[in-house]
Structure 1
């Protein structure tokens, strides 16, 4: 298809090739579609690659023990299909991934790499628990990825013996074990890189506010985390030759960003070892919190701002029912449990809408990476030792050896496949408040423009770039990626 200059007729030879990919409630799944031959729309959206914003780190999902265990229960054919779908160039080509250190809720049971009490020097440190499932999944992903991907790791908790409540859930790290816990991160790098798995970096603690005392957690205040990084973790990694490893602070919901970045980035000393801030989306089903994201960026404009976890939680996945993922029937934890004054943040909301609007909203507010939660779950939304059921882009029935790629998989691929690491976000002038759109210029010079129409009305538009235009049909409940090759 061709992008014609507005000064030329359709018969002109001067043209820019464009590819359009669409996922829709009508049934398209990252399908290549043709541009419209209709006349120019009154809805004109303009891309300006002269005005640039943040550089993209990547998009992807998390390696969890639950996902890895399920892959091991499938046939080799289906296992390879899923791995390739996530990591090959022909698939979603994930570029940024997360995994957990020690167990988390999406583990089969609770375990720690430091099982021996009062082992201050961690002489008994072991990643044996990861050898059956987690490590093989990561290695298979590495083998399938032609472009490679980054891995960062997050602890949900230290072993109970290091904490003031001697428990897996809740409590805080005892100060006498701060150096031991810093050593833990260094040992983790040693162990994983000995397996041939490079670690790009860490978040200091998953959800330092806790999770309602339900599954593995460990509490930090902003000051406690900053002190731990400034005086223990940062210096330890530096001393052990791992000063190039990325350290991301916070790692919880966006609404709390201001308090944390004010402490983390208070001055040069406090911010020295922080390479960026990690955030989650669970504060609301649909609110992006743009003011908080902009505040965090402005506080540390040269540091990472990465969404490190998001999923449709408190739901059992619908099996082979694409329509459910496009309908406003999904709830989150807040539908039942949020305080009355916060209920408005947690309405029922379509899963595809949530992913597409949130990713676009993040990209338009300085976020440079977006990482989904579990890559694979079963029909119950597990396995999960706490029975904290969630939805994943790929659902499997291991007993029947069947795989279901939900619309969420294709939604993620609209970004991860076409917006590559090193891309720069660029200006989009979008006059229609009912549409959300974003664009990025890739290192190879190509441009990926992503637009989402969550409404029930068709919203055709004319896309303008420099002196050229193209007319595109945008049906109801449609997500499109328009690729403009380097010219």
Structure 2
């Protein structure tokens, strides 16, 4: 097999640097800090993709860029040759917390209802989200999309005191979308709301692969769009309303259940309630997880063992620094078909963002004049600022910053293709190391190895009787790509 080794180490000024000359291929085992054998004949889950979110905050900033600069930034994100090749993107059904305003597709004056959804409209998405998605699809037609709501329209909701964060007096904006639960009398109308969204986007030339019923259904906060769901409610909604309506519409859109932290998988908990019901389970293809409770990642693997016929997806949670790159290997080793981060393009003022979770850091950032970014992980200038500043002339930003996190994710997303199979790799991995291996549809092998230690790590990889030895610098990541 022909070999390709790419290493990123910010302390050595290396970003996806060609390091093939470092490989020693003598046919014998040797002393190493990490030794593992790749076994392509033993496989696990397929890969669906890697990506981020096209939520209102990022799309608003992207649409403020001059057209050529926007094309460059989107190419950095989705182009598999020129950029990271991110090919799985999350959309929001209505607005999430990261937005310039809170809205649904059927906002009404207080006291009014719209049972037949006569006033349904996605016009707000046509301002920023839809143009960005269309341009991204033009650059990479292989992108797939899934979508999640943060709240139904306010007129469909009733108060919910369970685990509510904050008081009603603290409520801001949102036309009643902040906190509460869906009134069961509107289950059928809300299922129609989903179908109308899918059909409206399809009419725009945008197909949605999957939907989740609710982003973080055990989140009930008055400061942002949220909606409380119990497992029993989602079970009934999928079984009796959403599943049948999507099927009757002729759409091929999948349903992914849960869409919250992986700590909630005890048999008495929410996602098990949904999937233990055959009527609901027939419509559900995957369970979606977030990582914010930081319970051990092996819970995803345990869930796969409970329901081996359902796929596992990781649908929200950004991974930062080398720690995050190593953790991503663990997510993939625990049966996730995907990795999707959250908010790729907020400006250096942290705008726009009217929600309660504030940040001034994303993997790519437009730099606002006078709001210089805090950079704790400096990398060589051509990689730190990858867009020609001349393309930004006439716009509100003076530079586009790429953080180290962007390149760390690219070590996975540029090389592991959709449809790749995770394969067995026997290993003795030291503390602060991480590794995961895949076989691409073209037969090539990809192994991603991280070294979080303060000292170099000697690596020895065996495949089909051939040996590949190299030294991984301190605090670095490597992608070993072996072509058939």
Q: Taking structure 2 as the reference length, what is the TM-score of the superposition?
A: 0.85
Which residue number in structure 1 is paired with residue 309 of structure 2?
A: 302
* Match of residue 246, structure 1, among 240, 244, 254: 254
Distance of 2:77 and 2:21 partners within structure 1: 28
Aligned partner of 2:22 in structure 1 is 36
Partner of 1:345: none
* CA distance, structure 1, for counterparts of residue 354 and residue 439 of structure 2: 42
What RMSD over aligned residues (CA atoms) do the two structures have, in Å? 1.6
Deviation at 1:96, TM superposition (A): 1.0
DSSP 3-state at the match of 1:470 = strand
How many residue pairs are counted as aligned between the two chains? Answer: 428
The structural deviation recorded for 1:265 is 1.7
1:130 aligned partner: 125
Corresponding residue of 2:374: none
Of the candidates 327, 350, 362, which is equivalent to residue 331 of structure 2? 362
Counterparts of residues 83-482 of structure 1 (less than 5 Å): 83-90=74-81, 91-116=83-108, 117-146=112-141, 148-165=142-159, 167-210=176-219, 212-242=221-251, 244-258=252-266, 259-284=269-294, 288-290=296-298, 292-311=299-318, 351-390=320-359, 391-398=361-368, 399-434=396-431, 435-482=433-480
Change in CA separation of 1:47 and 1:211 when aligned onto 2, cut-off 3 Å: farther
Give per-residue Cα distances to partners, 1:78-137, cap 9 Å, x unaligned: 211110011112111112110101111111011110123311111111001011111111
Query: Is the CA contact (8 Å cut-off) linking 1:155 and 1:204 kept in structure 2?
Result: yes
Shift of 1:401: 3.1
Q: 2: distance between equivalents of 1:466 and 1:189?
A: 47
Preserved contact between residue 178 and residue 221 of structure 2 (Cα < 8 Å): no
Q: Distance in 1 between matches of 2:355 and 2:80?
A: 35
Are the counterparts in 2 of residues 163 and 171 from structure 1 also a CA contact under 8 Å? Answer: yes
Q: Is the contact made by 1:78 and 1:401 (CA closer than 8 Å) also made in structure 2? A: no
> What is aligned with 1:323?
none
Instruction: Note if contact 1:70-1:378 (Cα within 8 Å) is conserved in structure 2.
Output: yes
Kindly provide the CA deviation profile for residues 122-178 of structure 1, in whole angstroms up to 9, marking residues without a partner as x.
1111001011111111011001115x1110010000111110038211111001100
* Secondary structure in 2 matching 1:302: coil
**Displacement of 1:75:** 2.4
- What does the per-residue CA deviation read over 1:15-59, in whole Å, with 9 as the maximum and x for residues that have no partner? x21111122232322222134366844332211111101111111
Q: TM-score, normalised by structure 1?
A: 0.85
Which residue pairs with 2:62 in the alignment?
71
Query: What's the secondary structure of 1:437's corresponding residue?
Result: strand
Once the two structures are superposed, residues 405-451 of structure 1 have per-residue CA deviations (whole angstroms, 9 ceiling, x without a partner) of: 11111111111111111111001112123221000101111111001
SS at match of 2:301: helix
| Partner Cα distance (1:201, 1:229) in 2 | 13
Tell me how far apart the structure 1 counterparts of residues 352 and 463 of structure 2 sit (CA, whole Å).
Answer: 47
Change (3 A) 1:267 1:387: closer
Tell me by how many angstroms 1:212 deviates: 4.3
Distance 2:322 2:270 in 1: 29
Specify the alignment match of 1:53 in structure 2: 44
**Counterpart of 2:182 in 1: which secondary structure?**
coil
Structure 2: which 5+ residue stretches go unaligned? 160-174, 369-395
* CA–CA separation in structure 2 for the residues paired with 1:355 and 1:140: 29
Partner Cα distance (1:485, 1:211) in 2:
49
Task: Report if aligned partners of 1:35, 1:473 keep a CA contact under 8 Å in 2.
Answer: no
Distance 2:398 2:132 in 1: 17
Comparing 208-217 and 17-26, the one that deviates more: 208-217
Given that 2:291 and 2:317 are in contact with CA atoms closer than 8 Å, whether structure 1 keeps it comes out as yes
CA contact (8 A) 2:180 2:220 kept: no
- Structure 1, unpaired ranges of 5+: 1-15, 313-350
Contact 2:239 2:280 in 1 (8 A): yes
Contact 1:62-1:371 within 8 A present in 2 as well = yes
SS of structure 2 residue aligned to 1:232:
helix
Q: Distance in 2 between matches of 1:354 and 1:223?
A: 37
